[in-house]
């Protein structure tokens, strides 16, 4: 009985990990780069994704996710556990934009994103 339970738990854990690491996931459509202090610089925006529709721009710096500072955070953990999540769930990002004195706040709704690879010619 213990062996069956262990096997079921391993399969569920593997499935959960696969969902978050494959090309299909719920997110906001941001491809970012970690800065030395842990904050995230937006490098690319998925067209028609939540971030694009909200007005987030390439070059914006994500300083907070749901009220928690990104400074000092580990990039992979920030992406996997805080930016990505359940489709339809809300996330609040505080952004510092070059040329803007005050931070900007965006409330986004995560959605299922399908990242496709370009076809080789």
Q: Which residue has the tokens 């010619």?
A: 121
Measured CA to CA in angstroms, residue 68 lies from 73, 86, 105, 117 at distances of 10, 19, 13, 33
Q: In the structure, what pLDDT confidence band is assigned to residue 36 with cuts at 50, 70 and 90?
A: very high
Separation of alpha carbons 84 and 63, rounded Å: 16
Question: Which of these, 55, 60, 27, lies nearest to 43 by C-alpha position?
Answer: 60
Q: ∠ at Cα 90 (43, 51), nearest 5°?
A: 25
Is the entire prediction scored with pTM above 0.75?
no
> Tell me: the pLDDT tens digits for 74-121?
888 888 888 888 889 999 999 999 999 999 999 999 998 766 555 665
* Contact status, residue 96 vs residue 60, Cβ threshold 8 Å: yes
């Amino acid at each position: 009985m213990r062996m069956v339970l262990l096997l079921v738990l391993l399969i569920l854990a593997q499935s959960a990990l696969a969902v978050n690491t494959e090309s299909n996931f719920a997110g906001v459509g941001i491809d970012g780069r970690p800065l030395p202090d842990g904050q995230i610089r937006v490098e690319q925006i998925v067209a028609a994704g939540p971030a694009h529709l909200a007005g987030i721009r390439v070059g914006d710096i994500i300083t907070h996710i749901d009220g928690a500072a990104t400074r000092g955070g580990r990039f992979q953990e920030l992406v996997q556990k805080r930016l990505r999540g359940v489709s339809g769930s809300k996330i609040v990002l505080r952004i510092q934009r070059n040329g803007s004195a005050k931070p900007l706040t965006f409330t986004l709704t995560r959605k299922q994103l399908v990242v496709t690879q370009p076809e080789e010619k």
